[in-house]
Structure 1
Amino acid sequence: MIVLLLLSLLHPFPAHAAKAVDVSPALKDLNQAITALQKGQSADAPYSSFKTWWQQHKTAVSKSSLDVSIQLSQDISSASLDLLNGNRKQSIKSLSTLRQTLQDYQSGLYGGVKSSTHQSLGSYITELENAKHALEQKDWVTAATQVKQLQQDWLSVEGDVVSQSQSIYTESEKNLVMMDAYLANPKTHSKAQPLIDEMITSLKPLASANYGMWDAALIPIREGLEALLVIGALLTFARKADSTPAKLWIWSGTTLAIVVCLAVGALVSFLLSVASFGNNNSLINGWSGVIASLMLLYVGYWLHRNADIQRWNAFIKSQTAQAISKRKMISFALLAFIAVLREGMETVIFLIGMAGRMPASTLILGIAIGFGFLIVIGVLMLKLGVLLPLRPFFMISSFVVFYLGFKFMGSGIHSLQMAGVLPSSVSDRLPSVNSLSIFPSWYSIVPQAICLVIFVIVLSKRWLMNVFHTNSKQAKEA
């Protein structure tokens, strides 16, 4: 599996080898059809012209890109049905979706001719400019459709962005959700344009930037540190409990996640396109983030609860020689699997996105340096964790775990909004802190607030217990 992934990085396969078809006549027909409907006129003539073009070029488009051929067939069926039913508003929306698919194909997001070094990000900026034009024309239906497509196509370029600027990556991803929310509400339509202007301004300098070894190295470092914190805390706890089975379960969950990530990377490289995997990746990030957050809350509570030396000794004495129950070991393995899967999936997709944008030897060297750095950090974490006294270890670990749970909850719900599972609603009254994955949406703020309340309750309970024990001890001594 690793060999397959390395082959895809050394010799990235273009998804489709045939020459891309010129879709300019088709786009002209669709633009005329949409304009006619917006004016209350019939769209039969331009749409009939488009269908004639499609019948003549369908085979060539299919040879150029099977993905776009399937998508266009679905879009055409939807548009034809809406026009037949006489639903003007829905017809405009479905025709706009059809037009966007053709524009994506024209800009290279569906493959065809092998992309040049920065064509992918440059094409995405063209998409942004098309959406900006629709906003300037107050064509809200088209703009909303284009923003939805921008969300789906984001995975095609996010590797280019995150390798050069983490802040621009996070801000752009947040803006995509906020634009979708603003365009869903007629009262906030005008707020979408400043966000799209900001994205265009921030992404343009990145489109002409050159990649180097450290760009490749920073991707596994950035994406892997949080997963490493989770694995390190679990392994250190297992070592302190002197439980070899627990360590094996944790390593098994970690290894399985790595294998799954490599398998998905090979699948995307050889059989699919990165764009076609976009929505699935958002779903994986979203649900894994929420599940991991809930599990981390439990683990954080459990670690904080055992920070007391007497309680820890009682726990060890109450267990078998393995010290940790099988059910808890399985939960540790599951948490390790989810944490690594969440971060590893993005790492692999980002690296695939960089393939072909620098010499293969430079890319592989950068990946090796990045993972080497993570290994060094992991070894240091385990060594220092074991050397720490019991109480400080549990206290620090519980704080780290609660922090990651809070952050995973926010980023997980944000990904579900990107995938369309949850509405992209935002509120100007809510704060936005990218570094903590705090986004201005009630859907993410409320669960994060609940996480914070649980953390405060756990801390307060521990503090009150310590005060009670101290007072009781002083009373006995007196």
Structure 2
Amino acid sequence: MRFGRCIGAFIIAAFLAVLSIHPLPAYAKTTVDVSPALSDLNHVITALQKGKSADHDFSSFKEWWQQHKAAVTKSSLDASIQLSQDISAASLDLLNGDRKQAIKSIGTLRQTLQDYQSGLYGGTGKSGQHSLSSYITELGNTKQSMDKKDWVTAASQVKQLQQDWLSVEGDVVSQSQSIYTESEKNLVMMDAYLANPQTRKKAVPLIEEMIISLKPLVSANYGLWDAALIPIREGLEALLVIGSLLMFARKANSRPAKLWVWGGTTLAVLVCLTVGAIVSFLLSVAAFGNNNSLISGWSGVLASLMLLYVGYWLHRNADIKRWKAFIQSKTSQAISTRKMVSFAVLAFIAVLREGMETVIFLIGMTGRMPASELIMGIAVGFGILIVIGFFMLKLGVLLPMRPFFLLSSFVVFYLCFKFMGSGIHSLQMAGVLPSSVSDALPSVNSLSIFPSWYSTIPQAVCLFLFILIIMKELPTAASHKNQKHTKEA
């Protein structure tokens, strides 16, 4: 436990050290007037939609860009980089004569300019309460495109909304977990609906719901408990994984296994802090793009697969006779090196998945509340997590062998099911998997059940395997129980 306490103290100290510093330098207060550029781009899109040449208007836009590029870069480096990328993509599509793709890329370029104008890339958008307000403005622009039945532009704008979500999700989750989960789900569903001409109109009530639910959060003030709840909420699932692994290591009396688990946990925390520092001092939350969704997605799926195996192994060893045979068949090390490495990898993935979001959320709160309250909130949050972890380990040791393994296996299978759903949902947010949805499927946010076959089928497979494992072990348990009754008789 001494090693564990040292790691816990180190984690808190490191988080406080990174987050006590304001993450981003002050942005220039002035932005460039982009009205002429937006007018040119609107003419480009209109010309392309009518099948006419758009070369003159796009050349006019590029002249504007050359004249104002330095000023835009001075006011927001992130916006300048993004605009340069968007212009290159649009120029290539126009050069290739791909009219349909050119309309999409010009729409993306126009949205980036609108984001810059509304402050999402700089100015007041990073220093006050305007970031979420700017995102709502962006939602309003997308709704206008839907109302005009300009579905191509709306689809491009929703893609941009998914990328920009990372800039404001910390604001949302700190005030309402339910609004955060529902908004993230709506972003994926809107993308899916707009991709199908038969379902495009279904996207309109979803964006209206997002605007209505997010507006009350714009003027909200943050406090100590807002900061404390983020590490508690994000860390509980990782704590359940680590706690189960540590309790198992204690039952097996394997000190090396404990060190492997703590080693994986520590490495994940260091990675999260490193990424947090890079985002804070070198990039920005907006520039981090969809990488967080990719990390969350792939780590969720991988953790789910590993948890499925761990859950099977724990459930299998709920049989006392088999557990004793396992211990007796090993050396004093009790657990093989390969299994200990897998414990470390699982702890690393679980903490990386939750820790990355925790760091990004907390960075989003920096500068929006007094630094002393933020630091105190973080300390309280991690303190509560440590207390919960302490009691978990104590109660786990007191539990009899069979109830301990059965309880642990059910917890692990629950996390396996949830990580699979949320992981695939994150991959859909990142654009790795299609954002297809089905009205025939249920949606339960608390269990990460989303109305998509891409997530529902893998979750159904996990559930089927879980039931299969239980059914397979029932005859063995009944046989041992009968043998015990026969001996007693």
Both structures adopt the same fold (TM-score exceeding 0.5): yes
Q: In the TM superposition, what is the alpha-carbon distance from 1:109 to its structure 2 partner? A: 2.1
Deviation of residue 474 (structure 1)? Answer: 5.3
Task: Return the alpha-carbon distance in structure 2 between the equivalents of residues 271 and 448 of structure 1.
Answer: 38
Letter in 1 for 2:155: A
In structure 2, what is the equivalent of residue 321 of structure 1?
Answer: 332
Q: Which amino acid letter does the alignment assign opposite residue 416 of structure 2?
A: G
Aligned residue for 1:317, secondary structure, equals helix
1:72 to 71, 83, 88: 83
Q: Pick one of 260, 265, 269 that aligns with 1:258.
A: 269
Tell me the TM-score normalised to structure 1 length.
0.96
Match of 1:434 in 2: 445
CA distance in 2, matches of 1:410, 1:453: 15
Match of residue 259 from structure 2 = 248
Aligned-residue Cα RMSD (Å) equals: 1.7
Further displaced range: 467-476 or 118-127: 467-476
CA distance in 1, matches of 2:459, 2:208: 30
TM-score by length of 2: 0.94
Counterpart of 2:130? 119
- Cα deviation 1:62-88 (Å, max 9, x = unaligned): 222222222222221222232233332
Aligned to 1:95: 106
Q: CA separation in 1, counterparts of 2:14 and 2:76? A: 27
Which shifted more, 8-17 or 428-437?
8-17
Residue aligning to 2:167 = 156
1:81 equivalenced with 2:99 (yes/no): no
Contact preservation (8 Å) 1:168, 1:202: yes
CA–CA distance in 2 between the matches of 1:44 and 1:334?
54
Q: Aligned residue for 2:45?
A: 34
Residue 288, structure 1, aligned to residue 295, structure 2 = no
Bigger CA drift: 293-302 or 45-54? 45-54
SS in 2 for 1:110: coil
CA distance in 1, matches of 2:163, 2:390: 38
Separation in 2 of the partners of 1:473 and 1:320?
A: 28
**What's the counterpart of residue 357 of structure 1?**
368
Equivalences for 1:446-465 in 2 at 5 Å? Answer: 446-465=457-476
Which residue identity does 1:214 align to in structure 2? W
Q: Secondary structure at the match of 2:287?
A: helix
1:54 matched residue in structure 2? 65
* SS of residue paired to 2:338: helix
Provide the residue aligned with 1:200 in structure 2: 211
Counterparts in 2 of 1:261 and 1:388: CA distance versus 1, 3 Å: same
Return the alpha-carbon distance in structure 2 between the equivalents of residues 111 and 460 of structure 1: 57
Q: Over residues 211-256 of structure 1, what are the superposed CA-to-partner deviations in whole Å (9 max), with x where a residue is unaligned?
A: 1111000000000000000111110111111111000000000111
Per the alignment, residue 284 of structure 2 pairs with 273
Alpha-carbon displacement from aligned partner over 1:407-432 (angstroms, at most 9, x marks no partner):
00000000000001000000000111
**2:456 aligns to what?**
445
Who is 1:180 aligned against?
191
Q: Is the 8 A contact 1:427 1:442 kept in 2?
A: yes
Moved more, 468-477 or 305-314: 468-477
Residue 470 of structure 1: how far off its partner (Å): 3.5
Structure 1 unaligned spans of 5+: none
Residue aligned with 2:290, SS? helix
SS at match of 1:41: coil
Counterpart amino acid of 1:330?
V
Aligned mates of 1:101, 1:463 — CA distance in 2: 58
Contact 1:18/1:63 (CA < 8 Å) preserved in 2? no
Q: Is the 8 A contact 2:76 2:121 kept in 1?
A: yes
Amino acid at match of 2:385: L
Pair 8,250 (structure 1): closer, same or farther in 2 beyond 3 Å: closer
State the shift of 1:11 in Å: 2.4
Distance 1:278 1:181 in 2: 20
How far off its partner does 1:354 sit? 0.3
Q: 1: distance between equivalents of 2:244 and 2:94?
A: 59
2:287 maps to a residue whose letter is S
Q: Secondary structure at the match of 1:277?
A: coil
Paired residues of 1:72 and 1:98 also in contact (CA < 8 A):
yes
Contact 2:19–2:362 (CA<8 Å) still a contact in 1?
A: no
Deviations 1:328-376 (A, max 9, x none): 0000011000000100000000000000110000111111110010000
User: Equivalents in 1 of 2:251, 2:64: separation in Å?
Assistant: 70
For the Cα contact (< 8 Å) 1:33–1:46, is it kept in 2? yes
Q: Deviations over 1:306-335 (max 9, x none)?
A: 001111111110011010111100000110
Aligned residue identity for 1:344: G
Match of 1:374 among 367, 378, 385: 385
CA, structure 1 residues 3+303, in 2 after alignment: closer, same or farther (shift >3 Å)? closer
Partner of 1:218: 229
Q: What is the number of equivalent residue pairs in this alignment?
A: 478
Q: State the alpha-carbon separation in 1 of the partners of residues 250 and 424 from structure 2.
A: 33
* Deviation string, structure 1 residues 96-126 (Cα, Å, up to 9, x no partner): 0110111121222222456342111001101
Contact 1:253 1:334 in 2 (8 A): yes
Counterpart among 231, 235, 240 of residue 242 in structure 2: 231
Give how far 1:448 is off.
0.4
Shift of 1:477: 7.2
Give the Cα–Cα distance (whole angstroms) in 1 for the partners of residues 438 and 265 of structure 2.
38
Contact kept in structure 1, 2:125 and 2:134, CA below 8 Å: no
Task: Check whether the contact 1:14–1:112 (CA below 8 A) recurs between aligned residues.
Answer: no
**Residue matched to 2:115:** 104
Change (3 A) 1:456 1:4: closer
The match for 1:191 among 202, 217, 239 is 202
> Which position in structure 2 is the counterpart of 1:383?
394
